Amino acid sequence: MWGGRFSGQVSEVMQQINASIGVDRRLFAQDIACSLAHAEMLVAQGVISGEDGSAIVEGLRQVKDEIESGSFEFRTDLEDIHMNIEARVKDLIGSAAGRMHTARSRNDQVVTDFKLWVRDAIDESIVQLTALQLALVEQAERHAAAVMPGFTHLQTAQPVTFGHHCLAYVEMFERDKGRFADARVRLNECPLGAAALAGTSFPIDRNQTSSALGFDRPTSNSLDSVSDRDFAMEALSAASVTAVHLSRLAEEIVIWMSAPFGFVELTDEFTTGSSIMPQKRNPDAAELIRAKTGKIFGAQTSLQTVMKGLPLAYSKDMQEDKEQTFVAFDALSLSLLAMAGMVRDLNIIKEKMASAAAEGFSTATDLADWCVKALDIPFRDAHKVAGGAVSLAEKKGKGLAELTLEELQTVEPGITAQVFDVLSVENSVASRSSFGGTAPDNVRAQVKKWKEKLNS
């Protein structure tokens, strides 16, 4: 491809370190789309003849068929996907193939291809996140009133509803979608036509190629165009936040499935057994989602490290941008699919959750709040009363709701039988009806809102 100056052969190890075809062959469809758009524009601008243009388009279509059908031979000596495709078009149509590289360079070509790939990955992530949200909303609807212990420090804090817990993740995944959507807006400018780094003297129409490829507009600075990999960093950072959220949910499923908790079950579809312990049923998918986070964080760190300190414009370092990005989005996509499947498969053991919700004096705050409202004492004093009641219940080996009125009155003589209305976990969650609170009615209202939003 640069035969004019070179006469010797590259060494085998040079070929090995230099070639990217093993990785960037995945960009074949994007690369062909860019070349088609570019060739059509060159014809429209009178830079190449209509005849050559048609031959190029024909050749590119045939190469696409060959790659899709598996008959295409990818050659490492041709370095990358761009040169593999161009060389094959040359085999098919002869020297006119060489005209499609007029007014462009592999530098603007590769970044355009990669942007198209990342844009698809963003769009797919948003679709998959929505499917996961819908699975969570369905669980929330089914279990709007199912009580479970709410934790802080993984210590029983206050009862909450399982529906509310599911909807917490729906909120997180909505923000994740927002991050992807924001990244997409900034990504969506077309670098094609920036050429090697300085633009071109040919009368190209960058608006035409930009809109043919679904971009909002062409990029405005040729140096920036070929140097920019922010779009991938941004997509990976959105993916990293999503991975954090996925791993937290995965961890909760692992905890909930452990025997001491026993809050949830998964069917054979989403569990595996042990080759030695016949009783085991393991939440492997959840554990693997938790672990795949490493690949996603790793890709982000890797790309930032590749890019840091690079002078403008293109450097070959940038060829190392794609591999980890592919790995990360493969991991994210599989994790999102598996998580949605697992959430749909999740069966909750209501009795187990409810009895755990009542343990650990989880309604102590309700007792304190009752004292504030019924006895008009300051919250700090009410906190002491409730603390005293917890200590008494602990001594007697009872739950708070099992203390007798007389026993409660030894702590605070003003307490009346009405207090028992707030000491059950059901009443506790029902009373938390402030906006954003865990009350079943709130959960139902939020479920309705999410269903409308996600299905629209």
Closer residue to ligand ARG (CB): 15 or 355:
15
- The answer to the question of residue 110 lying near ligand ARG (CB under 6 A) is yes
- The answer to the question of residue 227 lying near ligand ARG (CB under 6 A) is no
Q: What is the dihedral of CA 104, 109, 115, 119, to 10 degrees?
A: 100
Q: Which of 20, 247, 293, 324 binds ligand ARG (CB under 6 A)?
A: 20
For the CB of residue 216, give the shortest distance to ligand ARG in the complex, in Å: 24
Joined together, the tokens standing for residue 49 give 């003849």
- The answer to the question of residue 106 lying near ligand ARG (CB under 6 A) is yes
* Ranges within 68-87 binding ligand ARG (CB under 6 A): 80
For the CB of residue 309, give the shortest distance to ligand ARG in the complex, in Å: 17
CA 227 – CA 368 distance, rounded (Å): 61
The b/e string for 209-244 (b: 16+ C-beta within 10 A; e otherwise) is bbebbebeebbeebebbbbbbebbbbbbbbbbebbe
CA atoms within 13 A of residue 334's CA, in its CB half-sphere: 16
CA 355 – CA 439 distance, rounded (Å): 18
Q: Which of 33, 41, 167, 318 binds ligand ARG (CB under 6 A)?
A: 318
For the CB of residue 81, give the shortest distance to ligand ARG in the complex, in Å: 8
Residue 93, SS3 per DSSP: helix
CA 82 – CA 24 distance, rounded (Å): 9
Q: Which of 30, 158, 225, 319 binds ligand ARG (CB under 6 A)?
A: 319
For the CB of residue 347, give the shortest distance to ligand ARG in the complex, in Å: 48
Q: Containing H/E element for 232?
A: helix 230-257
For the CB of residue 286, give the shortest distance to ligand ARG in the complex, in Å: 36
Q: Which stretch binds ligand ARG (CB under 6 A): 179-187, 206-214, 313-321, 417-425?
A: 313-321
The residues that are catalytic are 153, 274
Helix, strand, coil shares, percent, the chain, to 5: 70, 5, 25
Residue 156, SS3 per DSSP: strand
Joined together, the tokens standing for residue 265 give 């079950």
Determine whether 305 is exposed, middle or buried from the number of CB atoms within 10 Å of its CB (0-12, 13-18, 19+).
Answer: exposed
Determine whether 266 is exposed, middle or buried from the number of CB atoms within 10 Å of its CB (0-12, 13-18, 19+).
Answer: buried
CA 116 – CA 119 distance, rounded (Å): 5
Joined together, the tokens standing for residue 112 give 């355009």
Q: Which stretch binds ligand ARG (CB under 6 A): 70-78, 210-218, 315-323, 393-401?
A: 315-323
Beta strand residue intervals within 229-368, DSSP E: 264-265, 347-348
Closer residue to ligand ARG (CB): 107 or 237:
107
For the CB of residue 441, give the shortest distance to ligand ARG in the complex, in Å: 56
How many residues are given for the chain?
A: 456
Q: Which stretch binds ligand ARG (CB under 6 A): 120-128, 180-188, 311-319, 379-387?
A: 311-319
Q: Which of 84, 107, 225, 227 binds ligand ARG (CB under 6 A)?
A: 107
Joined together, the tokens standing for residue 437 give 């609170």
Closer residue to ligand ARG (CB): 66 or 323:
323
Distances (CA, A) of 148 to 158, 328, 362: 9, 34, 10
How many other C-beta atoms lie within 10 A of the C-beta of residue 178? 12
* Ranges within 22-41 binding ligand ARG (CB under 6 A): 24
Closer residue to ligand ARG (CB): 1 or 445:
1
For the CB of residue 6, give the shortest distance to ligand ARG in the complex, in Å: 14
- The answer to the question of residue 229 lying near ligand ARG (CB under 6 A) is no
- The answer to the question of residue 225 lying near ligand ARG (CB under 6 A) is no
Joined together, the tokens standing for residue 297 give 């964080």
Closer residue to ligand ARG (CB): 230 or 407:
230
Q: Which stretch binds ligand ARG (CB under 6 A): 44-52, 102-110, 162-170, 376-384?
A: 102-110
Q: Which of 314, 361, 370, 450 binds ligand ARG (CB under 6 A)?
A: 314
For the CB of residue 106, give the shortest distance to ligand ARG in the complex, in Å: 4
Q: Give the binding site for ligand ARG (CB under 6 A).
A: 20, 24, 80, 106-107, 110, 314, 316, 318-319
